[in-house]
């Protein structure tokens, strides 16, 4: 009897020790926020003091690229697999997919997702994809997301009508979840609703309570509320970091911040000495280059800037690596962990990034390319020197290349060849037969 009691006490102590040492992980993803919007990256149009400080004390990645549109990026980041192999349609994710939510849940973590869903309307999907709790917009329906929003919270539909701000409601859910789960390792996936158009006032905007129903609908550079939205994101991240500090969790919490695609089309921001026009929906730098900041005080030295390539398939293996969760080989993911770089180590940097981009999941309007820090090659044969032509206005022919450009073309062609036959036949046949048109970047 005494021996049994001793073993039980030992197991409890071990469990408590594991809970105390395993890191919490919070992955925050802003909606339509390009690289140029953050002060730490050299942006001067918006105030982002919290993110700038987070970067100064953590690691800022200078070359993170995702997909040009929200759903394609969400599928890649959650599964670690390039769209060519599992993307089915805009606003949906393959129901057989395994996500980082599933892996963390199986690994003993408390899991939560808050913010924007847009991955299918079935009630059970957030749970199916591994989230114990959720507070989501655009799950079962698509009501307003900002003032007087409609949300789904753990299977219950809720609406607000007294001027409440949707991003505040989901943010409060995060703060409460952190407090409730402080004694157990947790994983929070926080795809924010901000700063996607329409560029409405935030509660900190002077005209929040006087908003006209004739608000601007388009994502363009004329509405000053975009700046308010970016600053509000920064403020909310600050309150989350403060909550972690209050509970003594900050040191052992890995916080990662990224954008899901480039800034909304036409939105003009200043980066250094040049204007950057938001390129969401485009496979150019303006459509795919996003901020990436990582902070884990217990495991890293701050103030680092990494020049290594990172893409949206890399987040699943990175956060699993941090949590000590093994990614099953059967998943055949395309991503690679950049946890070593977060820790200040060399790691295993990418030589290239591959992109298969089709908002509808068909070969119609497909853009497929591979690129590195300087050169980009499309399956159409278009080749670009990004150092001299970042906007991809003057394609070069591969036959005319020499030196570094010719070497890069060979490397990038090998990357394209690797995925030449990667699209599952059943997916290709199913989607192309429907010829479904994906919604445009301006609409979504």
Predicted local confidence at residue 432, as pLDDT: 59
DSSP 85-114: HH--STT---TT---HHHHHHHTT-EEEEE
Residue 6's φ and ψ, nearest 5 degrees, are -60, -45
Q: How far apart are CA 121 and CA 119, in angstroms?
A: 7
Distance CA 289, CA 381 (A): 22
Cβ-based neighbours of 266, under 8 Å, separated by 6 or more: 218, 219, 220, 221, 277, 278
- Give the separation between CA 148 and CA 200, rounded to whole angstroms: 12
Two structure tokens written together for 176? 């409460």
Q: Please name the residues in contact with 133: beta carbons below 8 A apart, sequence gap of 6 or more.
A: 111, 112, 113, 154, 177
Number of other residues whose CB lies within 10 A of the CB of residue 26: 25
**Which domains, and CATH codes, for the chain?**
23-202+216-351 (3.40.720.10), 356-434 (no CATH)
Contact 117, 92 (CB under 8 A): no
Euclidean distance between CA atoms 230 and 44, whole angstroms:
12
**pTM for this entry:** 0.92
Burial 108-136 (b: 16+ CB within 10 A, else e): ebbbbbbbbbbbbeeeebbbbbbbbbbbb
The half-sphere exposure of 218 on its side-chain side, counting CA atoms within 13 A, is 7
The DSSP secondary-structure symbol of 205 reads: S
Residue-wise pLDDT for 162-186, tens only, equals 999 999 999 999 999 999 999 999 9
3-state secondary structure of 199: coil
Residues whose CB is less than 8 angstroms from the CB of residue 286 and which lie 6 or more positions away in sequence, other chains included? 34, 262, 263, 276, 277, 278, 279, 391
> Cα separation of 254 and 321, whole Å?
11
pLDDT along the chain (444 residues), means of 10: 40 41 97 98 97 97 98 98 97 97 98 98 97 98 97 98 98 98 98 96 93 49 82 98 98 98 95 95 98 96 93 98 98 98 96 97 94 98 97 96 98 98 86 53 47
Write down the pLDDT at residue 158.
98
């Amino acid at each position: 009897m005494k021996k049994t009691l001793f073993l039980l006490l030992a197991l409890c102590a071990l469990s408590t020790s594991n809970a105390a040492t395993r890191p919490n992980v919070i992955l925050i993803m802003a909606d339509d926020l390009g690289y140029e919007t953050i002060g730490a990256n050299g942006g001067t149009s918006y105030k982002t003091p919290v993110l700038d400080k987070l970067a100064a004390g953590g690691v800022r990645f200078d070359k993170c690229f995702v997909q040009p549109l929200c759903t394609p990026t969400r599928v890649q980041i959650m599964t670690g697999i390039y769209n060519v192999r599992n993307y089915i349609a805009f606003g949906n994710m393959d129901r057989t997919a395994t996500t980082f939510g599933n892996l963390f849940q199986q690994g003993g973590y408390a899991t939560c997702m808050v913010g924007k869903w847009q991955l299918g309307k079935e009630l059970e999907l957030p749970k199916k994809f591994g989230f114990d709790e959720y507070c989501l917009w655009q799950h079962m329906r698509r009501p307003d997301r900002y003032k007087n929003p409609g949300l789904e919270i753990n299977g219950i539909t809720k609406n607000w009508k007294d001027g409440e701000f949707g991003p505040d409601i989901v943010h409060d859910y995060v703060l409460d979840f952190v407090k409730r789960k402080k004694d157990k390792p947790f994983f929070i996936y926080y795809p924010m609703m901000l700063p996607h158009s329409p560029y409405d006032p935030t509660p900190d905007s002077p005209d929040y309570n006087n908003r006209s129903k004739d608000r601007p609908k388009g994502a363009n550079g004329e509405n000053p509320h975009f700046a308010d939205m970016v600053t509000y994101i920064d403020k909310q991240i600050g309150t989350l970091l403060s909550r972690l500090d209050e509970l003594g969790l900050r040191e052992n919490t890995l916080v990662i911040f990224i954008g899901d695609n480039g800034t909304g089309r036409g939105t003009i921001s200043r980066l250094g000495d040049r204007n950057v026009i938001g390129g969401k929906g485009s496979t150019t730098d303006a459509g795919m280059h996003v901020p990436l900041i990582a902070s884990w005080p217990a495991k890293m030295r701050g103030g680092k800037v990494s020049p290594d390539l990172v893409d949206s398939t890399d987040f699943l293996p990175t956060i699993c690596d941090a949590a000590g969760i093994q990614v099953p080989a059967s998943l055949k993911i395309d991503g690679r962990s950049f946890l070593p770089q977060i820790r200040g180590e060399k790691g295993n940097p990418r030589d290239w990034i591959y992109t298969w981009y089709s908002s509808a999941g068909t070969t119609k309007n497909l853009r497929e390319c591979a690129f590195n820090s300087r050169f980009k090659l499309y399956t159409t044969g278009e080749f670009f020197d990004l150092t001299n032509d970042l906007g991809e206005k003057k394609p070069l022919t591969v036959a005319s290349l020499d030196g570094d450009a010719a070497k890069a073309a060979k490397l990038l062609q090998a990357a394209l060849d690797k995925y030449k036959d990667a699209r599952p036949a059943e997916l290709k046949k199913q989607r192309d037969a429907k010829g479904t048109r994906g919604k445009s970047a301006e609409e979504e």
